Amino acid sequence: MRLRQRLWNPYVLVFLTSGCIMTIELVASRLIAPRLGVSLYTWTSIIGVILAGISIGNYIGGRLADRYASLPFLGLILGLASFGTLGILFLTDALIGIEIRDSLPLMVQIVGYIAGVYLLPSAILGCVSPIVVKLSLTDLARAGTTVGKVYAWSSVGSIAGTFATGFWFISWFGTRTIIMLVAAMLMVLALWFVTAGEWRRAMARALVLVVLFALSWWLLQRNGDLVSDCLVETDYFCIKVHKEKVAGREVRSLVLDRLVHSYSDIQDPTYLQYGYERTYAQVIEPMMRAKPDLDVFFIGGGGYTFPRYLEAMLPQSHLVVAEIDPMVTEVAHEHLGLRRDTQIETKNLDARAYMAWYGEPNSFDIVFGDAFNDYSVPFHLTTLECAQRIAELLREDGLYVANIIDGGRHGHFLRAFVRTLRQAFPEVLVIPNDHNNWRTSVRSTFVIVASKKPLDVSAMRLEQRPLTPEELEGYLALEPPMVLTDNHVPVDNLLAPVFEDSA
């Protein structure tokens, strides 16, 4: 017992457990992304649920500390926290399949799912600090100092856990391994404290924890596909690549989180499966005929399907891709036919950063926007300030071509995006992927073409008919105008009705 008293350090303990909470919080966003996407709603729900759990734990932990505070009891709480952490891996997929009432708002559904997975472990970990405070108070005259130091070290642990997880742990280990390592560390701490006291009872408590933990660990290993079937997990995406047959052709699909982002024919880079990609090709065909050495900038690389297409069609062209995730580029090299000696120049950084730091005015003929991942829209790429910068980078006869997802029955994002582009470009053309059904469709893809000069639509030979000026004006007039800016860009709210309908 004397050895344990000598090694008992309340500040180290709260440092570690608080770091665990923040590690779980950051990992939550990556575990949720393949199922719900990443949006303001998911991040808000994660932060709110974790804070609620900590608050509940602090309250319950304080009540328990007054009645049961002891080293073995602290060990029991840490053991429960370990099992609660492992439970995240079981519940992440188990709860996503539970049918939720359609009448509930999307926000309530997301909060409910995240609470079902993360509220319990965060609440149990929230119990630790009050118990530690109770065990540390030996001199009431120094109670304020002791409590202050406990909560200061708890905050330092939270900061350390946040930076370590965000900057290194996710890249090094992946989310599943991180959760298991956190659970293992909590169990080691639990075993240290439950073995305090009379040795027979101590060994019995430790044996129960070890057996239950080993059983849980075995079940997770046996069901290793419960959470992660990613080819590679990065700071940004769960990346998967599948071999598929599409229209009798062998292709590979790139899945980023929950969206099939592209199809690539390894042998034929000119193959374009998606309708919006074919629309891209039809829109720029007159420019390709007139100028075989186009300067093109891509916002987002994904499967590099269209950059590979342009490289094959226009070998003299200058192609620059801003792809924020370097592993997406590496996967394209390894699995999707992007040659190592490609002429495509890749910048692994955010497109706004590239445009601000490296983009030269009047340096591109075409800018393609292809960074929107399902309904997880990088909001800063939709704003007026971004559109104005793109306009600066384009030559006078240049084109900005982007694809977006929205539902015709709602269209809030489409209207706002088009109105925003009109502030920077005199000409804006909207081409639905399915002209006959886009108004009633729950979810449609639209290609938006913006230009500083009048567009010659007849020269584009489009498969899908664009909206006439009268059709577009009538659609835009259905709701009050909104221009997206860096200061006000509620993209998640605008797309929420589409997300609800699709779900």
What is the residue-wise DSSP string for 286-339? HHHHH-SS-EEEEE--TT-HHHHHHHHH-TT-EEEEE-S-HHHHHHHHHHS---
* Structural domains for the chain: 2-229 (1.20.1250), 274-502 (3.40.50.150)
State the Cα–Cα distance between residues 396 and 299, nearest whole angstrom: 20
Q: Report whether 429 contacts 455 (CB < 8 A).
A: yes
pLDDT of res. 101: 54
- Nearest Cα neighbor of 372 from 38, 29, 34, 35 is 38
pLDDT greater than 80 at residue 96: no
| 305: Cα separation from own chain's centroid | 22
Q: In this predicted model, what pLDDT tens digit does every residue of 302-312 receive, in sequence order?
A: 899 999 999 99
Q: Is the pLDDT of residue 290 over 50?
A: yes
Structure-token pair, residue 7: 């090694």
Q: Which residues contact 163 (CB under 8 A, 6 or more apart)?
A: none
Q: How confident is the model at residue 6 (pLDDT cuts 50, 70, 90)?
A: very low
Q: Which two tokens stand for residue 362?
A: 């009047």
Structure-block tokens of residue 47: 């932060």
Please state the pTM of the whole predicted model.
0.85
* 114 pLDDT above the threshold of 80: yes
> For 467, which DSSP code?
P
What pLDDT digit, counting tens, does each position of 361-386 carry?
999 999 999 887 666 788 999 999 99
CA distances from 378 to 163, 207, 277, 473, 496 (A): 22, 49, 20, 26, 15
For tokens 């950084």, the residue is 349
Mean pLDDT of 212-225: 79
3-state secondary structure of 264: strand
**Measured between alpha carbons, how far is residue 345 from residues 51, 85, 298, 311, 460 in Å?**
43, 43, 10, 11, 27
- Does the pLDDT value for residue 3 go beyond 60? no
Cα separation, 428 vs 400, whole angstroms: 9
Whether 356 has a pLDDT exceeding 60, the answer reads yes
Please report, as a single letter, which amino acid is at residue 157: G
pLDDT at 5 exceeding the cut of 60: no
d(CA 399, CA 378): 21
The pLDDT-based confidence of 39 (bands split at 50, 70, 90) is confident
Could you tell me which residues come within 8 angstroms of residue 404 by beta carbon, excluding any fewer than 6 positions away? Answer: 372, 377, 413, 414, 417, 445, 446, 448
pLDDT in tens, 206-218: 899 999 999 988 8
For residue 19, what pLDDT is reported? Answer: 96
Using the structure block, give the residue that is written with the tokens 């006959």.
436
- Taking the C-alpha atoms of residue 306 and residue 264, their distance in angstroms, rounded to an integer, is 9
Amino acid 236: pLDDT: 86
Range with lowest mean pLDDT among 135-149, 283-297, 305-319:
135-149
Instruction: Report whether pLDDT(2) > 80.
Output: no
- Say if strands 345-347 and 318-322 run parallel, antiparallel, or are unpaired: parallel
Q: Please give the structure tokens belonging to residue 346.
A: 């890749």
Beta bridge partners of 373: 376
What's the pLDDT at 29?
87
Say if residues 274 and 263 touch (Cβ distance below 8 Å): yes
Average pLDDT over residues 268-291: 95
pLDDT value of position 4: 47
Cβ-contact 68, 60 below 8 angstroms: no
For the residues 470-489, what does the mean pLDDT come to? 95
3 state SS of 166:
helix
Instruction: Write down the pLDDT at residue 40.
Output: 79
Res 64 pLDDT > 60: yes
* Beta-ladder partners of 364: 394
User: For position 98, what pLDDT does the model report?
Assistant: 63
CA 181 to chain centroid, in Å, comes to 22
